[in-house]
Chain A
Amino acid sequence: MDLNQLLAIKEKELGSRKPYTLRVCTAAGCLSAGSDKVKEQLERAVADAGLRDQVEVRCVGCLRLCCQGPLVHVDPVNELYQKVNAENAAALLERVRGGKPALEQADLQHPFFTKQLSIVLANSGVVDPERIESYIAADGYRALHDAVIEMEPREVIQAITTSGLRGRGGAGFPTGLKWSTVAKSTGPRKYVVCNADEGDPGAFMDRSVLESDPHSVLEGMAIAAYAVGAEQGFIYVRAEYPLAIRRLRLAIDQARRLGILGSGIFGSPLNFNVELRIGAGAFVCGEETALMASIEGRRGTPRPRPPFPAESGLWGCPTLINNVETFANVPAIIRNGAEWFASIGTEKSKGTKVFALAGRVKNTGLIEVPMGTTLRTIVEEMGGGAPGGARIKAVQTGGPSGGCVPAELMDVEVDYESLTRLGSIMGSGGMIVMDETTDMVDVARFFMEFCKDESCGKCIPCRAGTVQMHGLLTKILEGRATARDLAILEELCDMVKHTSLCGLGQTAPNPVLSTLRFFRHEYERRLRPERVPTGAPRPATL
Chain B
Amino acid sequence: MLSRGRCLPPYWDRPLMERSGSDRAMPGNQSNAMIATLATPRRKRIQEVLTRAGSDKRFKILEAHMKKHQHRQDALIEILHKAQELFGYLDDDQLLFVAHGLKLPPSRVYGVATFYHFFRLKPKGEHTCVVCMGTACYVKGADKILAAIEQFAGVRAGETTPDGRVSILTARCIGACGIAPAVVYDGNVAPRQTPDSALATIQSWMSHGS
Q: A residues near B, CB below 8 A?
A: 28-29, 31-33, 66-67, 69, 198-204, 207-208, 239-241, 277-283, 294-300, 356, 358-360, 364-366, 396, 399, 430, 432, 434, 438, 443, 446-447, 450, 453-457, 463
**Residue among A67, A198, A366, A396 facing the most chain B CB atoms (10 A cut-off):** A67
Chain B residues with Cβ below 8 Å from A438 are 139
Closest residue of chain B to A446, judged by CB? B138
Closest residue of chain B to A453, judged by CB? B1
User: Could you tell me the distance between the alpha carbons of A463 and B3 in the complex, rounded to whole angstroms?
Assistant: 12
- Find A282's partner among B75, B117, B189 (CB 8 Å cutoff): B117
Stretch at the interface among B13-21, B48-56, B172-180: B172-180
Is the pair A358, B77 in contact by a Cβ cutoff of 8 Å? Answer: no
Q: List 20 A-B contacts (CB under 8 A).
A: A28-B189, A29-B178, A29-B191, A31-B189, A32-B190, A202-B136, A203-B177, A239-B81, A240-B118, A240-B173, A280-B118, A283-B172, A296-B74, A297-B112, A298-B108, A300-B115, A358-B135, A364-B178, A454-B172, A455-B1
Q: Nearest Cβ in chain B — how far from A115, in angstroms? A: 18
Is the pair B136, A358 in contact by a Cβ cutoff of 8 Å? Answer: yes
User: Could you tell me the distance between the alpha carbons of A538 and B19 in the complex, rounded to whole angstroms?
Assistant: 56
Is the pair A204, B140 in contact by a Cβ cutoff of 8 Å? Answer: no
Is the pair A32, B177 in contact by a Cβ cutoff of 8 Å? Answer: no
Mark B159-191 against chain A: 1 for CB-CB distance below 8 A, else 0.
Answer: 000000000000111111111101000001111
- Find B176's partner among A29, A200, A282, A443 (CB 8 Å cutoff): A29
Is the pair A299, B188 in contact by a Cβ cutoff of 8 Å? Answer: no
**CB of B46 within 8 Å of the partner chain:** no
User: Could you tell me the distance between the alpha carbons of A456 and B140 in the complex, rounded to whole angstroms?
Assistant: 28
What 6 additional pairs, Cβ within 8 angstroms, besides A201-B173, A278-B78, A438-B139? A204-B177, A240-B118, A295-B74, A297-B72, A297-B112, A430-B136
**Residue among B119, B139, B189 facing the most chain A CB atoms (10 A cut-off):** B139
Is the pair B115, A299 in contact by a Cβ cutoff of 8 Å? Answer: yes
Q: Nearest Cβ in chain A — how far from B145, in angstroms? A: 15
Q: Nearest Cβ in chain B — how far from A534, in angstroms? A: 38
Closest residue of chain B to A285, judged by CB? B116
Is the pair A446, B178 in contact by a Cβ cutoff of 8 Å? Answer: no
Q: Nearest Cβ in chain A — how far from B1, in angstroms? A: 6
**Residue among B77, B133, B137, B173 facing the most chain A CB atoms (10 A cut-off):** B173
Is the pair A356, B115 in contact by a Cβ cutoff of 8 Å? Answer: no
User: Could you tell me the distance between the alpha carbons of A358 and B191 in the complex, rounded to whole angstroms?
Assistant: 13
**CB of B47 within 8 Å of the partner chain:** no
Chain A residues with Cβ below 8 Å from B172 are 199, 201, 283, 450, 454
- Find B77's partner among A201, A280, A463 (CB 8 Å cutoff): A280
- Find A201's partner among B78, B115, B134 (CB 8 Å cutoff): B134
Is the pair B182, A280 in contact by a Cβ cutoff of 8 Å? Answer: no
Mark B47-85 against chain A: 1 for CB-CB distance below 8 A, else 0.
Answer: 000000000000000000000000011111110110000
Q: Nearest Cβ in chain A — how far from B137, in angstroms? A: 8
User: Could you tell me the distance between the alpha carbons of A238 and B111 in the complex, rounded to whole angstroms?
Assistant: 19
**CB of B2 within 8 Å of the partner chain:** yes
Q: Nearest Cβ in chain A — how far from B70, in angstroms? A: 13
Which 8 residue pairs are nearest across A and B when measured between Cβ atoms? A66-B178, A202-B135, A280-B116, A32-B189, A281-B117, A201-B134, A358-B136, A281-B118
Chain A residues with Cβ below 8 Å from B177 are 202-204, 356, 358-359, 364, 430
User: Could you tell me the distance between the alpha carbons of A487 and B119 in the complex, rounded to whole angstroms?
Assistant: 39
Closest residue of chain A to B73, judged by CB? A297
Is the pair B81, A432 in contact by a Cβ cutoff of 8 Å? Answer: no
Q: Nearest Cβ in chain A — how far from B197, in angstroms? A: 14
Mark B107-137 against chain A: 1 for CB-CB distance below 8 A, else 0.
Answer: 0100110011111000000000000011111
Is the pair A28, B176 in contact by a Cβ cutoff of 8 Å? Answer: yes
Chain B residues with Cβ below 8 Å from A299 are 111-112, 115
